[in-house]
Structure 1
Amino acid sequence: MAYILTFFLLQVVLASSLSTIKVPLDSSKRILRPDIYGYSIEPSSVDPYIQSNLSSNILKNIAEIIGKPAPIRVGGNIADQTQFDPSLGTPSSALPDDTKVEVFRIRKDWFAGWGDYFPSGTDFIYTLNLRNTTGSWSTAMKEAEAAVNVLGESLSLIELGNEIDHYISKGWRKPGWDTKQYTRQWFQLTDQILSSAFYKQAKHKPHFQAAVFADPPWVPDQQEEVDDFDIINVTRAGLVDPSIIQTYAVHLYPQSTCDAARASRLSLNLLSDHQVVWTNISQYIPQEAAARAANSSLVLGETNSASCSGRSGISDTFGAALWGTDLVLTAASIGIEQVFFHLGHQSEYSGFTPLPYNYKGEDLSAGIRANFYSHFFLAHILAGNNGQPLEITALPAANASDFSGYAIFAGEQQLNLEKLVFIDLGVWNSTNGVHNPSTLSSTDSDFASSGTRPQRKVQVDTPWKPGTRIEILKLQGPGTNAKSDVNVSGVSLDSRTGNLRGQTKAEEGIVQNGGLVQIELLRAEAILIQKA
């Protein structure tokens, strides 16, 4: 059921209470893929995720809204600790256990288990063990053969190693490891795969995702090597072959819990800040250009709110949902085509957790966390338009620490404005919705902002004809610090089953003279405006 809210514009508008934003038609636009939002899952976390229907139902509902399933990357640190063991008594085995993995063993039918679980049409990326060079990468070759044979057409891409720019610090490569050595080894292994009988005989021959670098360009190289790992340097070193390299991947975490110094600087307020998002993403503009020059594209192959599994009270909040929404759209606006949010079955930043578990002295339930709703909201942004490709541009007039805006186009020459998205990232804390049984209660917030929750009034100058009917959907929650009671215009997902609950309460309006649309959004809220 839709609530009708016709927006009457006043003849005189106080400039102090109303922001006017013009939608430029001649701005640079980038592709907005329907599968831009994906998940990266640690190999040792796959089995826990497929032991319940929760994840399957969540991803099925997302796929039904968008019309295409979210892509899944199975990779991460454990990828380079994986061994192939056909004599294993079970499909997989993590030693000493699946939370502190030193060795992860798999056999061929492990791929069948997770290949059958996720929604039909899911595209998978699988990360091979590049660390172990024994027997000319015999481990990686066995993994590749099993993945290609079992997953078939659903295996979209193969990665070689995870965060290879950290191999020296981990003791997996000697000092001097650089882009030239990496490129030589990358082609050595890919040549073996391409010339193998299993690859030649495969009906579907997956391409490759190259690079997989951890350190952002503006972060000093952890190895203190002269030859830093980035897309510019690695393509200069010769890692270019558009016939097999579909994408280059980089990783980005804006904060970290990996060491005490960085953990002490963690902040929800810093996460929920568009200027920080832009600073982090804009450093990849030259990297994206280098990938494009190599006739490939750039993806964020792994990201989340804070590396080393996140921090409850920050990563699992509504503020993290607003951050995730802004991150994906900002990335898309500079040409990054996909963004993969990392998951662990017991990680504090995971948007959903499949099984109950004991963690830091608390019994946590399986469930859905507030940060997941960035994906649920983005699904509505990516949906519709009868399969027409979408393109996105960031709105220059909606660019502040607490505010961002995006215009989405479709149709001939991508000149038809289809949707508008505005995100208020201002911090508003509440004592409502601060508990979620799947998160640590010790991190539940007891602080509320004072006064009445502010509203932002925005007037948008659009090319839409007067009288055009529009619909507004909202990503809304009690406050930045909320862990629950989050929804998209009245619809949420059941934390036990992943099924949809509630009915959409969209607002409707009419475009006024001159193509003007006036809207209001609360502090810490996001809205989608689209033709009804």
Structure 2
Amino acid sequence: MLPAVTLFWVLWLPILVRASVTVYSQIPLGDSTATAAGANYTGAAAYDPTVLQPPPVPSGLPTQFSIQLQGSTSAVSGLSIQQRGSFLGYSIEFSVIDQVLGINSSFLQVPFLNLMANIRERAGEVHIRVGGNTQETATLVENLPGGVMMAKETGDTGDVTQTPALLYTAEVLNLLGNISALVDVKWFLGIPFNDTNNLRLGIAEVGEAVLSGPGYLLGFQVGNEPDLYAAHGNRPSTYSPYDYFGEFGVVVEAIAKDTSIPVRDNLVAPSVSGTWSPEMVWNTGFISSYSSSLGYLAVEHYPSDNCYAEYGTGTPVDPQTAFPSYLNHNAGIDIIAPYLNSTAIAQQVGKPFMMLETNTASCGGFPGISDSFGATLWALDYGLQMASSNFSGAMLHVGGQDVYYNPFTPPPTNQSSYHQWTIGAIYYSTLVVAEAFGSSGTAQIIDLNVSSGNIYTPGYAIYDNGGPARLVLMNYVTDPSGASDITATFSIGGGDTGQANGTPAQVQVKYLQAPSVSEKYNITWAGQTFGANFESDGRLQGTLSINTVSCDQSTNTCSVTVPAPGAALVFLTSAAFSASNPSSTETFPTTALTKTDNTATINPSVLATSNGMSGSTWQLGSTSQESRGLKMRDSVSARVAMVVVSVVSMILW
């Protein structure tokens, strides 16, 4: 008779080896490729090592300029509407929430909670939209095999983008509710709109029941980029704004008849992406007809696309050539110019106007741009420009492993036992915006058009509590010599303002810095960082660095230097500083116990299904491609195999 240990290996070794070979040989991502040259890299986009060349120093760059600030809010012409620190939020693709948020309502991703706590402590709350292309095909079901809360269903949805059909259970809404209870997240959700003859209102019924009472629900999007429906094969080629108007009315009528949806004034529309202008929808009588049902007016916009690389459609874009277009103040101004009329209309009708989904480029972004410090500065400037133009919020999109622009990315499942999260360059932008507006909910912002409108050195003033509270000064230029560092000298009151001198004796300054706009990971906010690939648990690391700058009250001036490249957040009062800076940030435990007879301590992310992996091929993929989606049955069996391997390995160890 074989010894017990030998018998174990005879029975289990072939299974374990087969599982390991199947899983690890087919995943095009591993430590062996982490340092590959960008041109030869074949792994997941989220970890692409491509580094671009920063643009040269522009000729004639002014490095010194003055700023005159009014001493009271009432004296400032052109201030924005009141803004919240949660202005920059996140749009998370529905199909990856079990990777990013947690696998069920009791098993939450700790790094995600920590990342949201960072924003909550600065802004008071966090705004997140769950949706995207995958919301359109999502169907609420009572349960799924293996007890999972969601799965991608096999089959062709007929969408050019190969979007998978999603099945999910009410556990998804319970998960969102539990996250909100911990870190004050408020949610936008999406009602499926792919078949208005057979509406599926389950997400609104359960969402209202779970999230509305505690105040965690913001609204329901009706239609994700309807102006692209015809191009994607989801509607006839003749589909027009008037068709959308009629179908929206079908949803309004159905909600009115549904007693399980008590809140009926929180719909979000039209969420057009630029193929239709918002005015094309407004001209149908949309706002006046549905005013009582609308909670928010919204659009979605990406300044460019990488769809040729993703799907073979459109025009190829060379990231190196495109990089400079993201590195100046005009980038944000040009994006929102088509929407200024609509923000004015929104103010007239008393509706918030949202940028519900955006990022550096659609179809996953660009290597070397979307994951660079240049994108950090771009998103900061773009976000503040939207706020100064009376948007009420904007959501930076989060996809799967195969996109370049994620603010944060969990590790692939096969690496989650030894790798942490990767925090993207663009996440830092949301921290700075949260602190720039603070937690009062009454901050107002204005683009100062500093340095005679020089596009490489923009600046904004934020007013609150009746007076100037903060400044944001930026420098898009890369120059390690220091010759392109800029010095802004500001005065509060005095001069020609007709007001008394108001410049304080000193100000506090926080710096957003990196060696170059091309830098991916050596990025710091007030001296702290999230590190490089696979290095973060969602908490800032390092020693906090806050500069105190002495001002000259005899001349009513104060000078602040901004490195090239970088940004400075200047706190003009102690009250403004206190309102934006947490004394402490809540963090969360990082281990959990299995509910088996052999209880082993396992990192929560070990049990998560993979981002965009297919149960049949185990390939990393984009969240919007059905061909790379999870097969429901195979995803469950593959995950169980991984858990068995992990637990057995721990027991043997």
Shorter chain as denominator, the TM-score bin is 0.7 to 0.9
Distance 1:17 1:311, change over 3 A: closer
Percent identical residues: 23
Distance 1:232 1:352, change over 3 A: same
* Structure 1 residue aligned with 2:391: 336
Preserved contact between residue 85 and residue 435 of structure 2 (Cα < 8 Å): no
Distance 2:115 2:304 in 1: 27
In the alignment, structure 1 segments of 5+ residues that lack a partner are 1-14, 216-220, 222-228, 429-448
2:473 counterpart (422, 427, 445): 422
**What secondary structure, in the 3-state scheme, does the structure 2 residue paired with 1:192 have?**
helix
* Structure 2 residue aligned with 1:410: 464
* Structure 2 residue aligned with 1:198: 260
The structural deviation recorded for 1:514 is: 4.3
The structural deviation recorded for 1:452 is: 4.9
Distance 1:364 1:236, change over 3 A: farther
Preserved contact between residue 42 and residue 343 of structure 1 (Cα < 8 Å): yes
In the alignment, structure 2 segments of 5+ residues that lack a partner are 1-60, 103-108, 156-160, 494-500, 575-653
1:369 maps to 2:417? no
2:511 counterpart (454, 468, 474): 474
* Structure 2 residue aligned with 1:491: 528
2:450 counterpart (376, 393, 397): 397
- TM-score w.r.t. the length of structure 1 is 0.82
Distance 1:411 1:149 in 2: 37
- AA aligned to 1:104 is L
Preserved contact between residue 317 and residue 481 of structure 1 (Cα < 8 Å): yes
Distance 1:320 1:357 in 2: 27
Distance 1:181 1:304, change over 3 A: same
Distance 1:255 1:230 in 2: 17
- TM-score w.r.t. the length of structure 2 is 0.68
* Structure 2 residue aligned with 1:11: none
The structural deviation recorded for 1:132 is: 1.4
The structural deviation recorded for 1:249 is: 1.0
Distance 1:452 1:357 in 2: 43
The structural deviation recorded for 1:365 is: 6.1
Preserved contact between residue 242 and residue 295 of structure 1 (Cα < 8 Å): no
1:83 maps to 2:142? no
Preserved contact between residue 55 and residue 498 of structure 1 (Cα < 8 Å): yes
1:95 counterpart (153, 158, 170): 153
**What secondary structure, in the 3-state scheme, does the structure 2 residue paired with 1:197 have?**
coil
* Structure 2 residue aligned with 1:209: 268
The structural deviation recorded for 1:194 is: 2.8
Distance 1:34 1:17, change over 3 A: closer
Distance 1:291 1:262, change over 3 A: farther
1:256 maps to 2:313? no
Relative to structure 2, which stretch is displaced further, 40-49 or 305-314?
305-314
**What secondary structure, in the 3-state scheme, does the structure 2 residue paired with 1:86 have?**
coil
* Structure 2 residue aligned with 1:10: none
Higher helix fraction: Structure 1 or Structure 2? 2
2:197 counterpart (134, 138, 146): 134
Q: Deviations over 1:446-488 (max 9, x none)?
A: xxx7x55621122123226244321111111121111112111
The structural deviation recorded for 1:159 is: 0.7
Distance 2:353 2:62 in 1: 41
Q: CA RMSD in A?
A: 2.5
Distance 2:491 2:291 in 1: 41
**What secondary structure, in the 3-state scheme, does the structure 1 residue paired with 2:474 have?**
strand
2:100 counterpart (36, 41, 49): 49
The structural deviation recorded for 1:61 is: 1.6
**What secondary structure, in the 3-state scheme, does the structure 1 residue paired with 2:238 have?**
coil
1:520 counterpart (549, 557, 561): 561
The structural deviation recorded for 1:94 is: 1.1
The structural deviation recorded for 1:134 is: 3.4
Distance 1:171 1:334 in 2: 34
* Structure 2 residue aligned with 1:456: 486
Q: Deviations over 1:65-117 (max 9, x none)?
A: 2222x2010110111121232243331111359x9752111122222123323
The structural deviation recorded for 1:262 is: 4.1
The structural deviation recorded for 1:18 is: 2.2
Distance 1:473 1:91 in 2: 42
Equivalent runs, 1:271-282 vs 2, <5 Å = 271-282=326-337
Q: Deviations over 1:152-207 (max 9, x none)?
A: 3312101112101111112222233222221121122122113311023xxx6661
Distance 2:62 2:377 in 1: 25
**What secondary structure, in the 3-state scheme, does the structure 2 residue paired with 1:311 have?**
coil
Q: Deviations over 1:203-243 (max 9, x none)?
A: x666111111111xxxxx3xxxxxxx332232221222443
Distance 1:196 1:16, change over 3 A: closer
Relative to structure 2, which stretch is displaced further, 83-92 or 301-310?
83-92
* Structure 1 residue aligned with 2:43: none
Distance 1:391 1:465, change over 3 A: same
Preserved contact between residue 549 and residue 560 of structure 2 (Cα < 8 Å): no
**What secondary structure, in the 3-state scheme, does the structure 2 residue paired with 1:492 have?**
coil
Distance 2:79 2:169 in 1: 45
* Structure 1 residue aligned with 2:209: 149
The structural deviation recorded for 1:383 is: 2.0
- AA aligned to 1:470 is V
* Structure 2 residue aligned with 1:63: 120
The structural deviation recorded for 1:151 is: 2.5
Preserved contact between residue 231 and residue 287 of structure 1 (Cα < 8 Å): yes
Tell me the number of residue pairs that the alignment of Structure 1 and Structure 2 aligns: 469
Distance 1:198 1:212 in 2: 25
